[in-house]
Structures are given as C-alpha cells and as structure tokens.
Chain A
Amino acid sequence: MIHLKNVSKVYSNGTEALKNITLDIEHGEFVFIVGSSGAGKSTFLKLLIHEEKPTFGKVEVNGYDLMKIKRNKVPFLRRTMGIVFQDFRLIDKMNVYDNIAFAMRAIGAPERLIRKRVKSVISVVGLEGKEKCRPNELSGGEQQRVSLARALVNKPGLIIADEPTGNIDPKMSFEIMKRLIDINKAGTTVIVVTHEHELVRAFGGRVIIIDGGEIKEDKLINGSDTIGEEYTDISDQPAPSVLSDQQDNNNGEADEK
C-alpha cells in the first residue's frame, strides 16, 4: 500500500528533512508515526499526500508512483485517502452535515449518494442528532469526529491522521483513537502521526519513530515498552486512567501482532 525506498527530502533552503528512509506499510495496518517537533513527521505526511516531492528515492502510495505521477492524477491519488488534521479544518459557516458532505461534493458525487453516505458516517462517528450544529457549537472531540467523518465519507482505503488528538482533552483523545481503531478493524489502513507517547503506549501496535529525518525504530509495542523517549523532547505524563483501562484491552492485540 505504501512503499518508500531510500527516500530523502532536502528543501530549497538546504534543510534535510528526511534522510534515506525505507519503509513499507501494508493494507489493513494500524501504524503510529512518532517523533518530536521538527523530526520529519510532517514532511513524511506531505510526501504521502503529494504536497511535496522527494528529492531522491521512490515513493509509492496506493498504486501511484509519486515520482512519476502527473499533476492531473494527483486528485485521484488523494481520493484513495482520508486526512484528519490536528486543527480539524472545519468550515465555520457550514453545519456538521455540510462539512462532511463537502468532501463528497468536492469530487462531484451525486446528492442522493451524499445523503446516504453522510448519514451513515455520522452514525459511525457517533454524531447522530448533531447534523445541524455548526462547528463552534461542538466540543473539540466532536469537531475532530466531524473531521474523521469527512475523511471517511469517500470510503478511502487509507486514513492519515495528523496529530488527531493534539487539540482535544485526554478523554476525547481516547474516544478518537478508539474510533480510528474501529475503522482499522473494518479494513482501512490507518496512519496516526503523534508525539503523545502515552497514547501510543495505551493502544500499542506498530510504532515508527522518526528523529532527525531518519527512522530510528520500527517495532511492535505493548504498554510496558518504552517508545524511544531518547529521540523526543516531550516528557511523558502519566497516562490518564481512561487510557490505562484501554491499555489493558489493547496490549493483547499488540502481543498478537
């Protein structure tokens, strides 16, 4: 599904954001990308969604060779993925329904299909009854669920969540992560970029640690493992109790992997 081979990215100002990265993510995986600010996580994501082109190496996403992809094919690459942003990026003047429907309208979907699909994803993210609410009438967690619904509505095979819990409280973070895991269980590949170690430990799974533009670790973890604190500048806080409960449930899954 995602294959990076010897990928490097050097920006025009000389910053070497990624150094010789080789990585494979297969269909149906749930992967955490962890790293401190400036580690290269954002550049990694930009390469996947083709906002940036690699300087060297080969990037293949959902069957598209991103070194050779033509400009007019980029929208079709992006239709194979859904993106969840840290800042939600909801449109203030639109209600929940329209914010989600917007993603389908933007690719020219018929209104009948939009009505059916939006209703369905609203139920998946648990926002029934909130269809008419504007973003400013929702909590941070609810707004992120709208963002998640928008990412899901075009039925992509890949969800990329960029710091999805960065702007919401710990309880809601757990809620969002749980939704992402449910989505993954339904067969969608999920990549979560985060710097919150406690969240990663709570859910476990495949964790790729990026530091200084390089992959430092790529491993399966469970709750008792450390996850490369030496590469980050974020000090771990004790995991909230709600996460601790979930940790017990997920450790088993991580062990199985």
Chain B
Amino acid sequence: MKFNSSGYLVKEGLKNIWTNRMMSLASIIVLVSCLIITGAAILVSINVTSLISSIGEDNQVNVFLDYEMSDIDAIKLGSTIKKIDNVVDCQYYSKDEAIKEYKEKLGNLYDSMQGEDNPLGNVYKVRLGDLSDYRHTINEIKAVEGVASVSDRGDIARTLTKLNYFVSIVGSWIVLILGVVTLFIISNTIKMTMYSRRFEISIMKSVGATNTFVRIPFIIEAMAIGLISGLIASVALISVYNPIRETAGNMITLIGTSTIPISDIWLNILLGFTGTGILIGALGGFISISKYLSKEGGEILGW
C-alpha cells in the first residue's frame, strides 16, 4: 500500500461503518457485552486472588474464649497459649473493648449491648511464626481448655479459591461462546459490506487493485468496530467498578482493604479492552474477506 492511498483507505473503512450502521451497531452491542463479561470475570478473579494472597500473608488468628470464662481464667489461658510452639505473640482483647470498638464504628446500634448484655466473647489475638505450620498450631490452640473457637482464615481462603475456580471456568465458557458469536456477527457485517460494495470490488479488481488494497478498508471497518466496542466496554466497567467495590467493602471490611483500587487498573482495562476489540475485529474481518477475495469477476457480482 502506498502512503498516498492510506488516507483514502481509512476514510473508506470508516464510511462503511455508517453505511452498514445497523449491522455495525449489532456487532458493537455483542462485542461490548462480550468484553464486559470477560472483563468482569477477570476483575473478580484478580481481586479474589488478591484477597487470598492477603489472607495467606496474614499470620494473625482470633482465639475466642468460652463466653462464661472469667477475666482471671482468661489471663491464665493466655499464658498457656503463649507456651505453644510457633506462637510469637498473644494479646488479650476483652469483649468490653470489642463492643466499644463496634460502637465507635457503627454507632448507636450497639448502645443496648453493654455490660451483661454484651453478646461478644473475650478474644486473644494470636500471631503465628511459621505459616507452613499453621494447621498444626491452630489444632494445638483449639485443644486448650476454655478455647471456644479459632477464626480459621484457611477456610475463607479455600472458599475463595473455589470461587475463583468457578469464576474462571464459567467465565472462560461465556467468553468462548460470546467470542464465537462476536466473530460470527463481525464477519457477517463485513460480508454484508462486501456484498453491498461488490460492484466496487469487481471494478477494483478489474483495474488491477491488489487484494491487500481491496482488503484494507474492510479490515479498518472491522477494527474500528472493535475499537469503539473496547472504548464503550472500558468506560462502562471502569464506571461501575469503584461503586461495586465500595459497596462490597462496606459489607465486608476485608474486601475494602484487600481488593485492587481502580486507579491501579484502569489503564490495563482500557488497553486490554481496546486491544482485544481491535484484534477480534481484525480477525472477524480477515476471515470473511479472504473467502470473498478468492472470487473473480462475475462470481463477485453473484452472476
């Protein structure tokens, strides 16, 4: 392609989008849906991974004591826990302190839960040394008399891992199916464009236009559809990401602190979506054009 034709070819490609606006719109809608679903699945996955990682790095567990245990017995129990191998620190956190903290965070809701009406239990915040010995140490703590339960974050990590796996599998299938549908629709859009311009194509070939020259406007059309879809999908996902993250963070503190803020990933979303959109568009366009360009003369015109 000569440089002096590039402007003409790009203009022709962009004009085609408007000429076949209904099919272009259909392609954009499907591609945007595909990108948003793909993007959402990826975002859930990386956030869950981040959560799992933050849980894995956290070597502190909460040891809940029997509700009826007195303060003196509780202090004695603390010294027993401290003697367990792999326990490097053990801080007492009374139920009065806990309810006070909840009241400060969440207000009057906890006014009536003072003194004997306090439903919380006394807790030891225990820091472990070697995380590879996590399971064994937890079992030893649980065996101590007076320990009601231990907050075992390993369970949360396992649940999140399962969720991550589920999101990955379901997401992959959805992406695969929508990807095929998108390719099909984009490819049909380009076929329709080519059909509506069959006279031009046959004339172009008869005067000696190379297949590359004939192909370029259609590829540009398909890539532009991909680019537009990528931009729309990026803006949509970036717009809803933070509100969703904040809402989820209000419900579970861990989500708010361990997930990835939009400022860290908006550029990745934008580049990923537009790049993928352009790539799918180019691929869809290329598939349909190659079949068409192997035809000659009357075959192009359908005679």
Contact = CB atoms under 8 A, between A and B. Distances in A.
Interface of A: 46, 49, 51-52, 72, 75-79, 82-83, 89, 91, 102-103, 105-111, 150, 154
Interface in B1-54: 1-2, 4-5, 8
Given A46-B297, A103-B203, A111-B4, 12 more contacts: A49-B206, A77-B208, A78-B206, A78-B208, A89-B199, A102-B200, A106-B203, A106-B204, A106-B207, A107-B209, A108-B1, A150-B203
Nearest to A154: B207
Contacts of B5: 105, 108
Interface in B191-229: 199-200, 202-211, 213-214
Contacts of A79: 207-208
The size class of the interface chain B forms with chain A is 20 to 34
Q: Looking at B2, B4, B199, B207, which has the most chain A CB atoms within 10 Å of its CB?
A: B207
A82 B206 CA distance: 8
B217 to A, nearest CB: 11
A154 B204 CA distance: 12
A107 B4 contact: no
Contact of B4 (A49, A103, A106, A110): A110
A176 B261 CA distance: 73
Contact of B202 (A75, A89, A107, A109): A89
Contacts of A109: 4
B296 A75 contact: no
Closest 3 CB pairs of A and B: A79-B208, A106-B209, A78-B208
Nearest to B296: A51
29 contacts: A49-B297, A51-B297, A72-B210, A75-B205, A75-B209, A75-B210, A75-B211, A76-B208, A77-B208, A78-B207, A78-B208, A79-B207, A89-B199, A89-B202, A89-B203, A91-B199, A91-B200, A91-B203, A102-B200, A103-B207, A105-B8, A106-B203, A106-B207, A106-B213, A108-B1, A108-B4, A109-B4, A110-B2, A150-B207
B11 to A, nearest CB: 11
Nearest to B295: A51
Contact of A108 (B199, B203, B213, B296): B213
Nearest to A72: B210
Given A46-B297, A49-B297, A51-B297, A107 B207 contact: yes
